[in-house]
Chain A
Amino acid sequence: MAAVVDIDALSAQLGVNWSEVNLDSIQLPPGNNFGIESDDEAVYHDDQSEFDTGFGNIIVVDHLPVVPKEKFEKLEGVLKKIYNQLGVIKENGLWMPVDPDTKMTLGYCFIEFNTPQEAQNAKEKSHGYKLDKTHIFAVNMFDDFDRLMNVREEWEPPQARPYVPGENLQKWLTDEKARDQLVIRSGPDTEVYWNDARQKKPEPVHKRPYWTESYVQWSPLGTYLVTLHKQGAAVWGGADTFTRLMRYQHSMVKLVDFSPGERYLVTYHSQEPSNPRDASKVEIKVFDVRTGRMMRDFKGSADEFSIGGPGGVAGASWPVFRWAGGKDDKYFAKLSKNTISVYETETFSLIDKKSMKVDNVVDICWSPTDSILSLFVPEQGGGNQPAKVALVQIPSKVELRQKNLFSVSECKMYWQSSGEYLAVKVDRYTKTKKSTYSGFELFRIKERDIPIEVLELDNKNDKIIAFAWEPKGHRFAVIHGDQPRPDVSFYSMKTAQNTGRVSKLATLKAKQANALFWSPTGKYIILAGLKGFNGQLEFFNVDELETMATAEHFMATDIEWDPTGRYVATAVTSVHEMENGFTIWSFNGNLVYRILKDHFFQLAWRPRPPSFLTAEKEEEIAKNLKKYSKKYEAEDQDVSLLLSEQDREKRRALKEEWEKWVMQWKSLHEEEKLARQNLRDGEVSDVEEDEYEAKEVEFEDLIDVTEEIVQESM
């Protein structure tokens, strides 16, 4: 209101009569916005991306034979025959223009299909079709013509945009209290919190309802948060709040994946086929995260992108493209039938321009740090040709090591996080071929000639329920045996003498566990009993081989360590109806706090980029931990003192407030005493027993007095 008054005053001063001014007539000169930014920018863009002429189902076929009137029908017949195989042509959907003077055709025609998908399909399939030697079809979408015609004749130099300094995308790492962030989704809301363990509660950072249309995901180094929308994906980040940094147009995007160095974003969309017998249509795009440019797109049927089994209607298995390890984001690989296609990101094309032919390969796995690809080929020819696990160096495609395995039913490959070891779990048939048993083949990648060692469990017939490498370490944990009380064993790739032999550290008998969660710093592990075990948690120290704590998060479905290994979150997501929410524990199993949220969908810690400290420096810090921790302990104590002070204060306030109510009730009760007595036909007693007793005592006194009077009168 104040502003309007000011304006009125000013206009009066200047002699402007507002009633004579037509606001609509005022227009800014083109190209100058006087620094006023249009606030419908977002709307404008979205409209553009969805711009659709409605001619999406029409294709234009060029390079047709030019025929006279007599042959017109014959050509039309041929065209109908060709295109009816590729889709359903609408009634009167084929139109071949005729020159009105010569009555000859013009050498092109328009074909309208029922759906844009059919048109797209027809375009792709018939482009380049050879009708005869001189007539090779050139097929375009009708919609593309406008675009192609609009290309300007003259080249215009792109305008250099002024440099706008970007926000510090890593600012969250400089948090004074060195806290970690986590994102949760519950109901329509997506929220980012600091995990403030000292305050025993999360501190909100950012909250947005309907931030994403399906899920959210952090980039591998934590810089970006990606959200999925109908129009495509978007990444968010920034110094203080989450602002949109970039958008990637990919309509109806279903899944996304980052390259490990977060340079590229892969988006995936699959379209269910109109004919249920066909495979789904899959479209994958690779974007440069920072510029938003699409680097390459891949289209095809789901079968071409699925690994192992057929993709079918469900679509391909994700991620289709597996990124080679390391921060360079140099290579990514795709597995399809009998081929491994390795692309490099400099040109986004195949290495050596061709895929690798590997017959019957079913699984590939990159080393997390080097460009080494491990692959598995199952047994062929009923056992005549053994199964094979091989390591291939990229880009040279040299086979570094391979091992043949016999009577194998299945293999699974597990890389250790620093790429030093590869464990291959091998399920073999017993002699009768009726059952299987499991063993491990352990590869030492960093040693000369890559030695392989075979490890069998003490009891060969034990089923292996879970396997996990210690991050950055040399140990691994295995859950084996029969449900409901399997055993957990720990192994080390080193022996006490530091020779290269695998050795068993310990076996814990009869644990209620079916999943393993190593702390990201190693040393600590959670043996978790999810699903059937209702959320049993055992916090175990592998250095000391002792249980630090056991706890239960009833019905827990998800467990995730924070990136520093200080805290761990357990969550009950909305697969259950009850008790949705999450709990934060310290690494040693102390409950820090618990948050309940209905319709809880997702929890994800914000990853941190790897530390810049050298291994030696880290070791030094670990050695002198006491010195460093003193400062933090003091801080912790201050906070906890403050907290208890605040807590006391809050309790006192609540008590006082309650006392006030009670006082008010008491006085009102007292006021109404007579009225109540009347309602009870004169019965004196009230509910309070002590009041009742007090009156009784008075009455006795009275009797005493009367007795004395009687005595006196006598």
Chain B
Amino acid sequence: MTMECVNPEGLRFNQMRSSSHQTLETRMRPILMKGHERPLTFLRYNRDGDLLFSCAKDHTPTLWLAHNGERLGTYRGHNGAVWCCDVSRDSSRLITGSADQTAKLWDVKSGKQLFTFNFGSSARSVDFSVGDHLAVITTDHFMGVSSAIHVKRIAEDPQDQVADSVLVLQSPDGKKKINRAVWGPLNQTIVSGGEDAVIRIWDTETGKLLKQSDEQVGHKEAITSLCKAADDSHFLTGSHDKTAKLWDMRSLTLIKSYTTVVPVNAVAMSPLLNHVVLGGGQDASTVTTTDHRAGKFEAKFYDTILEEEIGGVKGHFGPINALAFNPDGKSFSSGGEDGYVRLHHFDSNYFNIRI
């Protein structure tokens, strides 16, 4: 068991309003979860918000208790970095995508492997549909295989599970990774974003490309992360162009844009308040000074509506690769290149922020 509490590393909320420039500090003790040996890649809460799944470049996705960071167990079987995971609505099934060219279905409780989907290349992202009968899996390009989006039917009984894809979608530029694909409202669409900086909406019925983001307003560099609202109405994308953008999921209208100073690797939206969180940081190889502040490894909070920065949570010693809000909106966790998961429970000050 490796769980420890560290010295209060503050959650700093500064208000930079027009006239007075005051600093409002709230102290909260993050729980530092040290279970991975390699950089974190993805974090996912279950619907009830009591379990937290973490994926990292080591080969074992890990399950934690979301309220105190106790490690419940690991899912052993992958043979490469695990990029992404999703958990079914009833918290019984877990799906993971890995660089070992497989996506695996797991029994959450027992940790048993139920099924393995084999691909010719790394499985970059996974997402269960509404109803958990379908899963969308994106694969990278590799050795002449172009990157693609696969839709698999998930059988009720693992015995009946088949490997065949229901639908395969090819991105126009097969040489660019598709970093994330998620289901749209009522499973009618799939929304994808990746290295070509374009967001695409696909029809799941016909496999046709319905919409793609406008070059003018869209991202200028690789899209690294995509997170959707609980009601599938809108979604947030983070990009290396140092912005995050909020889109309407049905019309692909750009609603908001948040600008920060570092490439964005991870984004999350608060289910409770009108807050969005951006995580990222200068790529470790381009950090020029020894000062950890230089890299800006901070989770930045923005007001969703006003697009203004509210504050930031420091603590990681490397770029933030993963962010997730607890569905109750009262805590969030961040995973970094430094191999740590930091679990933050907000204190009352957070809920009284006025800007």
Contacts and interface: CB of A to CB of B under 8 A. Distances in A.
Q: Do A and B come from one complex?
A: yes
Interface of A: 200, 534, 554-555, 576-579, 590-591, 596, 640, 643-644, 647, 651, 654-655, 658, 661, 665, 668-669, 672, 675-676, 679-681, 687
Q: Which among B19, B234, B305 has the greatest number of chain A C-beta atoms within 10 A? A: B305
Contact of A680 (B130, B250, B262, B304): B130
A617 B140 CA distance: 76
B233 interface: yes
14 contacts: A554-B293, A577-B286, A578-B262, A578-B296, A591-B16, A596-B261, A640-B18, A661-B234, A665-B229, A668-B250, A669-B231, A675-B186, A679-B129, A679-B130
A171 B133 CA distance: 72
Contact of B261 (A579, A661, A676, A687): A579
B255 interface: yes
B284 interface: no
A674 to B, nearest CB: 10
A687 B231 contact: yes
Closest 9 CB pairs of A and B: A665-B233, A679-B131, A658-B305, A680-B131, A679-B130, A687-B230, A669-B231, A675-B186, A654-B305
B306 interface: yes
Contact of B186 (A200, A578, A654, A679): A679
A11 B233 CA distance: 62
A644 B18 CA distance: 8
Contact of A555 (B130, B131, B262, B294): B294
A521 B299 CA distance: 42
Nearest to A579: B261
Contacts of B229: 665
B348 interface: no
A680 B19 contact: no
Contacts of B16: 591
A676 B130 contact: yes
B20 to A, nearest CB: 10
A571 to B, nearest CB: 15
Interface residues of B, number: 35
Contacts of B186: 672, 675-676, 679
Nearest to B251: A664
B89 A578 contact: no
B187 interface: yes
A121 B133 CA distance: 85
A640 B185 CA distance: 45
A279 to B, nearest CB: 35
B248 interface: yes
B215 interface: no
A205 B318 CA distance: 41
Contacts of B306: 651, 654
Contacts of B233: 665, 668-669
A414 B286 CA distance: 40
Nearest to A656: B305
Interface of B: 16, 18-19, 21, 89, 129-131, 133, 185-187, 229-234, 248, 250, 255, 261-262, 274, 282, 286, 288-289, 291, 293-294, 296, 304-306
Given A578-B261, A578-B282, A665-B234, A655 B130 contact: no
A578 B294 contact: yes
Contacts of A651: 306
A200 B185 CA distance: 43
Given A578-B282, A654-B305, A672 B288 contact: no
A665 B18 contact: no
A534 B305 contact: no
A34 to B, nearest CB: 44
Contacts of A687: 230-231
Contacts of B274: 658
A263 B248 CA distance: 61
Contacts of B248: 661
Q: Which among A578, A658, A668 has the greatest number of chain B C-beta atoms within 10 A? A: A578
A591 B305 CA distance: 25
A551 to B, nearest CB: 10
Contacts of A680: 89, 130-131
A687 B232 CA distance: 10
Nearest to B133: A679
A448 B296 CA distance: 59
B294 to A, nearest CB: 7
B291 A534 contact: yes
A576 B282 CA distance: 12
Contacts of B18: 200, 640, 643-644, 647
Contacts of B289: 534, 555
Nearest to B262: A578
Given A640-B18, A687-B231, 9 more contacts: A555-B289, A578-B296, A643-B18, A654-B306, A658-B274, A665-B234, A668-B185, A679-B129, A679-B130
A70 B297 CA distance: 87
Contacts of A668: 185, 233, 250
A700 B148 CA distance: 50
Contacts of A679: 129-131, 133, 186-187
A231 B69 CA distance: 68
B46 to A, nearest CB: 13
A594 to B, nearest CB: 9
A681 B286 CA distance: 50
B305 A655 contact: yes
B296 to A, nearest CB: 7
A658 B129 contact: no
B288 A665 contact: no
A647 B294 CA distance: 32
Nearest to B20: A590
Q: Which among B18, B187, B234, B286 has the greatest number of chain A C-beta atoms within 10 A? A: B18
A646 to B, nearest CB: 10
A665 B291 contact: no
Contacts of A665: 229, 231, 233-234
Contacts of B250: 668
Nearest to B282: A578
Nearest to B328: A689
Contacts of B21: 590-591
A300 B294 CA distance: 46
Contacts of A676: 130, 186
A343 B67 CA distance: 81
Contacts of B304: 658
Nearest to B305: A658
Nearest to B259: A596
Contacts of A591: 16, 21
A577 B288 contact: yes
B297 to A, nearest CB: 12
Contacts of A644: 18-19
A593 to B, nearest CB: 10
A50 to B, nearest CB: 38
Contacts of B255: 661
Contacts of A534: 289, 291, 293
A160 to B, nearest CB: 55
Q: Which among B89, B233, B286, B291 has the greatest number of chain A C-beta atoms within 10 A? A: B233
Nearest to B17: A647
Nearest to B156: A681
A578 B288 CA distance: 10
A661 B305 CA distance: 11
A681 B129 CA distance: 13
Contacts of B261: 578-579, 596
A679 B131 CA distance: 5
A668 B185 CA distance: 10
Contacts of A577: 282, 286, 288
A541 B260 CA distance: 35
Contacts of B131: 679-681
